[in-house]
Structures are given as C-alpha cells and as structure tokens.
Structure 1
Amino acid sequence: MERELIKLTVDNGIAHVCLNRPSKINALNVEMFTSIDNVIKQLRGDKRINAVIISGAEGNFCSGLDVKSVASSPTSALKLLFKWLPGNANLAQRVSLGWQRLPVPVIAVLEGCCYGGGIQIALGADIRIATPSCKLSIMEAKWGLVPDMAGLVALRQIMPKDKALMLTYTADILTAEQALELGLVTQISDNAYECATALAQKISRTSPDANAAIKRSINQSWTASVRSLLARESLSQIRLLLGKNRVIAAIRQTKNPDKAYRSRQSWW
C-alpha cells in the first residue's frame, strides 16, 4: 500500500486490517479511501480468509474525514463522490458498505476517537468491540454535511429512527457506555483487540460456507419481505447441503474436531 496507509496481515485465516495514519489520528484522505477500497477487493478474492479484524493505529480508530486535505484539491471530492449510477456505491460509500459485502465476518476494534467517517467505516463491520475510553460521534452535521458513506445501511437496523436522527442532528460525542446502550457498539472490553481476536478464532472453527450464508441471509433479509427471507434461507441451505464443508462440519462434531475446512465456495 502507498505509504502503508493501511496495514494488512493474515494469520491463520484471520485478516488484520489497520488504519495507519496516526499523525492525523487516522483521518481519511483520498489515498486512504483508495487503500481501504483496494484491501476490501483483495480480501473478497481470497477464499482462505475466514474473518477480518479492523482497527486503528496507536490507540485511535479514526477521527473522520481529513477535511483540509480533501478540500485543498478540487479533484478529491470528485474521486470520492463520483458514481456511474445514483444507486451505485461511490468510493466514499464502498469503504463502509464493502465490509458488509465481504462474505466473511468482520469485527471492528474501536479505541480513542471514532468520529464521522470513522464511525461510518465501523458501521460496515458486523460486530464492534470498543474500549471503555472510546469516544464515538456521527459528526458530519458539525461540518455542514450529511453522512454519506453508507453507514445508514447498518444504522437503520440497529437503532430506532428517532435516536439515529438525534445523534445525527446534534453530532454529540458519546462514551462507549452510551454507544453500547444505543446499539452503536456490540460489546465493551478493556482488551478489545484480544477479545476480537478470540472471537475471530472461535468463528474460524465453524464452516466458512455457513458463515458466508448466515451473513448474506441476515443482511439481505433483515428488512426484506417474508417471502424473500424464506426463499433466501432455502436456497442457502441447499447450497450448504451440497457443499463439502457441511460434511466436514459434521465430521468435526462427531469424529475429528481438527479436520480442516475447504476454502470458501465461490458462490458466496
């Protein structure tokens, strides 16, 4: 990656992604948006990945958009916002929505500042584990902007509309405890990264095909019609029953708990 704005390491099927611009509290410039987008594309194509952990360097997750950097170049905003069709995701939206579209569980470790664009990225994760000292804010209104990085896709599923409006209107800074009460974070831990790693390892002991199916089914069916939900569940189950990892899962439960799973099937 350019200037290592994003550090990526893979250990036993778990991808560790670190936002790495600590001198700017990991604030997002155009190069960082591009690097995150490229990492998501790389992980999507690697069927050996079973889980992803996202974190920020040196005690902070992300302080949001580097407004000065983006505003200094007329082409920067265009790179972030350009899309061929209104319903497509642009670069700014892909760094949040892209995590939801990965066919593996994604866990965000939130420390220090998690503001604006930072919380939009975190909302793209399936699970958010925060340290007690973490501060969170949907901060775009402070700068006269609307949140436009697709975090609303998850936000509308985890809290009532009136509370989402209140947080977005006011740009209030929340403590980790307040965020937990509102559903913005899943869990608080003094050792958030260790907790996330243990969870990723636990997830990796189950079928990668089943995890991909579960994520797709829940994400796509959460606000869908009952008929769509039933159809999606049935199709996913048929695919799983025809796959080798379902057989391996049964063997791990009854005969050999250490039998290795196959790489994730391409249809996920």
Structure 2
Amino acid sequence: MEKDLIKLSIEHGIAHVCLNRPSKINALSFEMFKAIDKVIKRLAADKSVNAVVLSGAEGNFCSGLDVKSVANSPSKAMKLLFKWLPGNANLAQRVSLGWQRLPIPVIAVLEGCCYGGGMQIALGADIRIASSNCKLSIMEAKWGLVPDMAGLVALRQIMPKDKALMLTYTADILTAAQALELGMITQISDTPYDAAVELANKIMRTSPDANAAIKLSINRNWTGSIRSLLARESLSQIRLLMGKNRVIAAIRQTKNPDKAYRARQSWWS
C-alpha cells in the first residue's frame, strides 16, 4: 500500500496540499481518490484554515486516472462510481467538487502534466496558476470515456459551450498560453507555487467570513436566478454584520492592520 499519497501541512492559516505519487506522475489510483476526499473533509472541519494551495509533486500536477490500477479491480471502480442517489456526488466527483464546496479560497498550482482527472481536480479550484510549460487536456474521450468527475460544474462557468465541446470531443493537449486564452487557467507564472502562496497571503489579509460568503454567493449564483442571488446576498450580509470579523476588518483598515481575525464562523460550512 502506497503511503503519503497526499501531503498536507498548515502554516499560518494556509493549507498546503500536494498530490504525492511522482513515480506515476501523480496519477489517480483508488487510494489516492480516498486520500484527497479525506483531506477535503479535514479542511472543511478546520475553521482556522483560510486558504488552500493545491499542487502536485516533482513538477507535475496530475496525469489523470491510473486506468490500469482501477481497471484491474472492478470493485474499486464500483466504489469510485457508487452513489445512493443520482444527484449526489460519488467519490470520483467529490475530489473535484469538494474543493468548490469548501468555504475557503482554493488556488491550484499547475505544472507539467494536467490531464484528464487531473484537469477535473484543477477545475474544482477557485483559481489556477500554471507554469509556462504546463500541458492541459480534458482527455477522457481519448480512452472512450466521458468526463465524469464534476469538472463541468466549473467549466460551464468559465468557457463558452462550443469551446468546451471542442476540447472535450478532441481531447487536445493545450499549452498554458492556449489554456489562458480559453479561460481554463487564471494566469501563467514562471514561479507558480510562489505566486500561489503570495496570493494566498494576500487573501489572508481579508476576513475569512467575507471570503466564505463571497465564494458561496458567486458559486451558487453564477448561473442561478436573480431572485436567488438577491436573497443569498442579503442573507450573507446580515450574517457578516452580526459577526466579529466584520468589526475586526474595520479595525484593520482604520487602527490596527495586524489585528488577528477570529476563526471562520460555522454557518459557512
């Protein structure tokens, strides 16, 4: 059994999560799916974590599904896909959708390969910073499969339908520059990990409750009705006005820029 498939460290409120299977270019085995899901659940329960930097070990993000590993065990394939209700997320979908559902900003660092399941995980992040040599692909069609890890939740928000269809039909491999032009990534950096950490530290200067409310509001309302948007904005603002961190944010702006925020309120989870 492989160990330490996911490395996690938490420093000054920033969780550093690293996909750690470099001998397989961080390909997704069943055990790795379980490890990612476990880390997401742990971070959701930790109110002291206010940002996540998600990366892959040794210069690659993730080469996608370890097809041989999963195909050799039908029981593992079934466990990946099983769900009690069709509308629920199964294990394969939670490793992408889980990052979106965290009430914490998530920044993905994309280097080397970001293919298939790796691209689906990256799409679950709020922000994607890629190295100039990164290669990206929605690759499932190459293996006769449909993308089924919930990456479409984000893809439909960041890209026109015709371009999403083109990339998914063809399984083309994109350069970072091409991905940036299409909106699949947020920015390109020669030092993407450092850029992600710098951004995470900048985010840490704002209220964790406000960031949780912003993420919830944008994700839920990006394609929702105007009525639901107005309702959620009003409810979030009332909750923020009632919280300690709104007062602390004002103090940081006017009196003491180093005053520490309180832990994130539980209602955003």
Residue 100 (1) aligns with residue 100 (2): yes
In structure 1, what is the equivalent of residue 52 of structure 2? 52
Identical-pair percentage:
83
Is residue 17 of structure 1 aligned with residue 17 of structure 2? Answer: yes
Deviation per CA, 1:213-252, whole angstroms, max 9, x where unpaired?
0000000000010000000000000000000000000000
Amino acid at match of 1:91: L
Amino acid corresponding to residue 223 of structure 1 in structure 2: T
Which letter maps to 1:162?
D
Q: Deviations over 1:111-158 (max 9, x none)?
A: 000000000000000000000000000000000000000000000000
Partner of 1:29: 29
Task: Please name the residue that 1:171 is paired with.
Answer: 171
Query: How many pairs does the alignment contain?
Result: 268
Q: Which residue of 2 aligns with 1:91?
A: 91
Correspondence for 1:114: 114
Which residue matches 2:7? 7
> Which residue does 1:243 correspond to in 2?
243
In the superposition, the TM-score normalised over structure 2's length comes to 0.99
Provide the residue aligned with 1:267 in structure 2.
267
Specify the SS of the correspondent of 2:184: coil
3-state SS of paired residue (2:206) = coil
Distance in 1 (alpha carbons) for counterparts of 2:100 and 2:85: 20
CA distance in 1, matches of 2:165, 2:197: 33
Structure 2: how far apart are the matches of 1:163 and 1:2? 38
- CA shift for structure 1 position 66: 0.2
- Structure 2: 5+ residue stretches without partners: none
Q: TM-score, normalised by structure 1?
A: 0.99
Tell me by how many angstroms 1:2 deviates.
Answer: 5.9
Cross-structure match for 1:183: 183
Q: Which amino acid aligns with 2:97?
A: L
Aligned partner of residue 39 in structure 1, secondary structure = helix
After superposition, give the CA deviation of every residue in 1:77-103 in whole Å (9 maximum; x if it has no partner).
111000000000000000000000000
Q: State the one-letter code of the partner of 1:79.
A: K
3-state DSSP class of the match of 2:248?
Answer: helix
- Displacement after TM superposition at 1:49 (Å): 0.2
Counterpart of 1:153 in structure 2 is 153
1:74 is displaced (CA, Å) by 1.1
2:200: which partner in 1? Answer: 200
The SS at the match of 2:54 is strand
Runs of 4+ in 1 over 2 A off after TM superposition: none
Matched to 1:31, the amino acid is E
* RMSD (Å), alpha carbons: 0.8
| Structure 1 match to 2:43 | 43
**What residue ranges of structure 1 are gaps of 5+ in the alignment?**
none
Alpha-carbon offset, residue 76 of structure 1 = 1.2
CA distance in 1, matches of 2:191, 2:22: 20
Matches of 1:30 and 1:68 in 2, distance apart? 11
